[in-house]
Structure 1
């Protein structure tokens, strides 16, 4: 696997996209940066991390030969690869806070930003951005953030963690290539934070309501069982799960 290491860049996703525009990039090429000056999260949010203490990297994935009708399966495969990696590092109490934040002990340790490229109405490739808090121990004004070091008490080799993640991405993308959609979805749903537990949500208008997370649709909508025994689907950013 090719891993390009940078001291600093605006964002590893942006760097990898520019690289793809200039040359032929091989499958699972990764870009790692000690520092991102403009790290991005979901829907334009900012991802902030202390320099050289965390893993901020992006991986190029060719999906041109995949039978992909719903791109959310790329998110599922990525989230499962991260869960598998963290389990192998003896990180406990792991879950996926929909759509794809990785939690340990109910605190966020990892965010994912996936940008898909469509060519001739078909998914051609994905740039998978991963921000994993590794050795950072202080998170100013971020009470819900944590890191591998905080939850385990150990210091980790960031390069080694990156290589394990790429190995596990290959494992789950092989399943995706074999059209094992149901297996992937079941595994993803089994990791969902607060699944089948009474939870409180807030919609885009600020109205709070209660329900039970039951699963996700193929397109990635969150399926919630409401008080009137109706399961309703919600798109990303239309609701917030309150802690």
Structure 2
């Protein structure tokens, strides 16, 4: 993996895509920054990270023949790779909050933003943006956010964590194919709140439901009053 480090940028995903437009980049090129000034999360949300305290980076991955209809496999593989890496640092009670946040208990420690390039019916490349809360001591106005150090009481070396995370990501992505059925099963088994009744906001209304899994297209399967329904990212909100 080739790692490129920059002091500050607007967004690592945007920065990496600008580089890609200007020059040919190798598979698994990584762009890391100490300060991300306009970080982005899912659905246009802002990703806020204290400079020098956390990991914010993007990874470029090329694909030979990954069907666009199976694009959520990338998110699933990345999420599982991160859980594997975080477990090596003693982070407890890890799970995946659909579609792609990593939780420790009820606290969010990592967010993922994946942007795919599609040609015909295939995904040819993905820019995978990842933000991991490592040594940040507080998260004003974000009651459900936490960092590695807050959870374990340990200060972490950012480069050491990055090395473990990137190795896990590489291993998870290089063998990914659209015939892989193990990754979706493992993703479902690691879902936050799976098989437990919880509250959700659907069409402006609070409902109680039970998460049963995720469809091949990446929609959340929720059981409500004995019936199963599937929801896209903008159609449902978790109430923590």
Both structures adopt the same fold (TM-score exceeding 0.5): yes
Q: SS of 1:52's equivalent?
A: coil
Whole-Å separation in 2 of the counterparts to 1:198 and 1:175: 35
C-alpha separation in 2, matches of 1:79 and 1:149? 20
Which stretch shows the higher mean deviation, 118-127 or 24-33?
A: 118-127
**Post-superposition shift, 1:237?**
1.7
Corresponding residue for residue 235 of structure 1: 232
CA distance in 2, matches of 1:235, 1:106: 22
1:74 counterpart = 2:74 = yes
**Structure 2 gaps, min length 5:** none
Q: CA deviation at 1:157?
A: 1.4
TM-score by length of 2: 0.96
The answer as to 2:27 corresponding to 1:27 is yes
Using the TM superposition, give the Cα deviation of residue 179 of structure 1 relative to its aligned residue in structure 2, in angstroms.
Answer: 3.0
Q: Distance in 2 between matches of 1:137 and 1:98?
A: 25
Normalising to structure 1: TM-score of the pair? 0.95
Say which SS state the counterpart of residue 70 (structure 2) adopts.
coil
Counterparts of 1:120 and 1:70, CA distance in 2? 14
Q: Is the 8 A contact 1:67 1:179 kept in 2?
A: no
Alignment check: 8 A CA contact 2:211 2:223 kept: yes
Q: 5 Å matches for 1:192-203?
A: 192-203=191-202
Residues 51-106 of structure 1: CA deviation (Å, up to 9, x unaligned): 01000000000013435531111000010011000011111111111101101021
- Counterpart of 1:107? 107
The count of aligned residue pairs is 240
**Alpha-carbon RMSD:** 1.2
Distance 2:64 2:123 in 1: 6
Superposed CA deviations along residues 155-212 of structure 1, whole A, max 9, x for unmatched, are 11112212212211122223413832x2001110111011000111101x31011111
